Amino acid sequence: MMDMPLPVVASARRPRQGMAHWLEAAAPYAVLAIAGAALPLLGNSYWGVIATRACVYWVLVSGLNLVVGFAGQIAIGWVALLTVGAYTTSVLAAGTVTPALSPYLTLAIAGVAGAVLGAIIGLPALRLRTFYFAMTTLGFATIATQIVLAWQGVTGGGVGVAGPVFPGPFSSQWGFYYFCLLLAAICTWMTANIAGSRFGRGLVAIRDAEVAAEASGVAKPALLMTVFLFSGAVAGIAGGLFASLQSYITPDAFTFDLSVLFFIAILIGGRGSILGPLLGTILLTILPELAAPLVAWSTFLYAALLLAIVLVAPGGIAELLDFRNRRPLAGGRAIIPRPELVANVLGHKTRSSPLSLQGLRLSFGGVRAIDGLDLEIRPGEVHGLIGPNGSGKTTTLNVISGYYSPQAGRVVLNGGTLPPRAPHLRARHRIARTFQTPRVVGAASVIQNVMIGGTVGGQGTFVESLFSLPRHRKDEAALHEEARAMLAVVGLEPLASVRADRLQHSELRFMEISRALMLRPAFLLLDEPAAGLSPDEIKRLGTLIVTISRQGTGVLLVEHHADLIFDICDHVTVLNLGKVLAAGTPTEIRSHRDVVDAYLGA
Instruction: List the chain domain ranges.
Output: 26-255, 339-600
Higher model confidence: residue 2 or residue 292? 292
Print burial letters for 3-31: b (CB count within 10 Å at least 16), e (below 16).
eeebeebeeeeeeeeeeeeeeeeeeebee
pLDDT digits (tens, 9 = 90+) for 397-452: 999 999 999 999 999 999 899 998 889 999 999 999 999 999 999 989 999 999 99
| Cβ atoms 369, 381 nearer than 8 A | no
| Helical (H) or strand (E) element with 555 | strand 554-558
Q: Which residues contact 344 (CB under 8 A, 6 or more apart)?
A: 6, 7, 485
Pick from 378, 411, 408, 407: nearest CA to 397: 411
Give me the mean pLDDT over the 75-79 stretch.
90
* Alpha carbon separation from 67 to 54, 243, 343, 462, 522 (Å, rounded): 20, 24, 40, 15, 34
**Given the DSSP bridges, would you call strands 161-162 and 248-249 parallel, antiparallel or unpaired?**
antiparallel
Q: What is the pLDDT of residue 292?
A: 64
212 pLDDT more than 80? yes
Give counts: helices (H), strands (E), the chain.
25, 12
User: To the nearest whole number, what is the mean pLDDT of the chain?
Assistant: 89
> 585: alpha, beta or left, given left = phi > 0 and alpha = psi -120 to 50?
beta
Q: What is the pLDDT of residue 200?
A: 96
pLDDT digits (tens, 9 = 90+) for 470-502: 999 999 999 999 999 999 999 999 999 999 999
- CATH number of 339-600, picked from 3.40.50.300, 3.30.565.10, 1.10.1040.50, 3.40.50.2300: 3.40.50.300
pLDDT digits (tens, 9 = 90+) for 30-68: 999 999 999 988 878 889 999 999 999 999 999 999 999
Give me the mean pLDDT over the 580-595 stretch.
89
6 pLDDT more than 70? no
Angle between helix 256-269 and helix 79-94 axes, rounded to 10 deg: 130
pTM for this entry: 0.90
Q: How far apart are CA 42 and CA 174, in angstroms?
A: 11
* Alpha carbon separation from 376 to 253, 381, 405, 507, 568 (Å, rounded): 64, 11, 18, 30, 17
pLDDT digits (tens, 9 = 90+) for 451-460: 999 999 889 9
Strand-pairing partners, residue 38, are none
Q: How far apart are CA 427 and CA 571, in angstroms?
A: 25
Higher model confidence: residue 153 or residue 490? 490
| Cβ atoms 427, 215 nearer than 8 A | yes
Separation of first and last alpha carbons in the chain: 47
